[in-house]
Amino acid sequence: MRKKIFAANWKMNLGPTAAAGFIREFRERWTPNDAEVVFFPSALAFAAVRDAAGDPCPFKLGVQNVYTVDSGAFTGENSAPMAKDAGAHYVLVGHSERRHVFGETDAECAAKCAIVERSGLTPLLCVGETLEERNSGHARDVVTRQLREGLSRLDQPERAASVLAYEPVWCIGSGKHATPRDASEIHGVLRTVLRSLVGDRADSVRILYGGSASPDNAAELLAAEDVDGLLVGGASLKVDSWLSICAS
Ligand code: PGA
């Protein structure tokens, strides 16, 4: 059995004050179950979230992005060792907004996954096709390429490639979610590719679905084969809807 993950990707929302308030309210009202809950706050809100979460922290924390090297003259960037030092467990790599708004390539995603692994953190590589790619029948090829290339520089893929997310670009923030069947199909493709890379360890990799997941569709998406959790943007920004998703 793969432990389910509910991951909140807050993107560029909720500054330190709002984020800490969210966490305090969430902790008070949340009934932990056997799923893992993860928050990806903005880098500036990370410490506030960690402090509000308490010690021991009942959930895991991650950062939304890191640069491809450990330190140096890269104004504005954050590094994987800094994320580790701050208390992160996960790092999102290759989110579609990084790929499509900031032009990140598969090669950069590979370098980021590698440095995240070497820093002792877990990369959460995101893959997903655009609507055009889906409509032209290329969804499987696109996610296969993104997955293979993203993991290509890991020292120990069988250990570091433990979580992935499938996020069809046309579903993100659009209010349209993939059908459970479409999600299952692509998750199955990803697991097959993983099997060719890490053998039987592929069965323990958790593959999250992301893209307009909400309290209304969380249960049906989670019931789909090979869907091991959700990566949620918009619906993770309100305590009520996030609690309801985490209870799905
Ligand atoms: P959304 O975003 O839930 O707002 O569609 C998901 C994501 O981008 O991770």
Q: What is the CA radius of gyration of the chain?
A: 17
CA–CA dist 121, 32 (Å, integer) = 24
pLDDT value for 217: 97
Q: What is the pLDDT of residues 40-50, one digit of tens each?
A: 999 999 999 99
CA–CA dist 126, 191 (Å, integer) = 14
- What average pLDDT does the structure give for the chain? 97
> Is the omega angle on the peptide bond into residue 123 within 30 degrees of 0, that is, cis?
no
122 and 165 Cβ atoms separated by less than 8 Å: no
DSSP summary character for residue 155: S
Q: Is the CB of 188 under 6 A from ligand 1?
A: no
Share of the chain above pLDDT 90, in %: 98
Q: What is the pLDDT of residues 46-87, one digit of tens each?
A: 999 999 999 999 999 999 999 999 999 999 999 999 999 999
Q: Is the CB of 233 under 6 A from ligand 1?
A: yes
Q: What is the pLDDT of residues 91-146, one digit of tens each?
A: 999 999 999 999 999 999 999 999 999 999 999 999 999 999 999 999 999 999 99
Share of the chain above pLDDT 70, in %: 100
Amino acid at the residue 195? R
pLDDT value for 1: 81
State yes or no: is 187 an active-site residue: no
| Ligand 1 centroid distance, CA of 233 (Å) | 4
pLDDT value for 244: 98
pLDDT value for 140: 98
Q: What is the mean pLDDT of the segment spanning 174-195?
A: 95
CA–CA dist 150, 229 (Å, integer) = 20
Altogether, the residues listed in the chain come to a count of 248
DSSP string, 60-110: EEEES---SSSSSS-TT---HHHHHHHT--EEEES-HHHHHTS---HHHHH
pLDDT value for 57: 93
Q: Which helix (H) or strand (E) holds 206?
A: strand 206-210
Q: For residues 158 and 118, which has the higher predicted lDDT (pLDDT)?
A: 118
Q: Provide φ and ψ at 152, rounded to 5°.
A: -65, -20
Q: Is the CB of 126 under 6 A from ligand 1?
A: no
State yes or no: is 177 an active-site residue: no
- Closest residue by CA, ligand 1 atom 1: 233
pLDDT value for 199: 95
Q: Which domains does the chain have, with CATH numbers?
A: 5-246 (3.20.20.70)
Q: Is the pTM of this model over 0.85?
A: yes
Q: Which residue has the tokens 């055009």?
A: 132
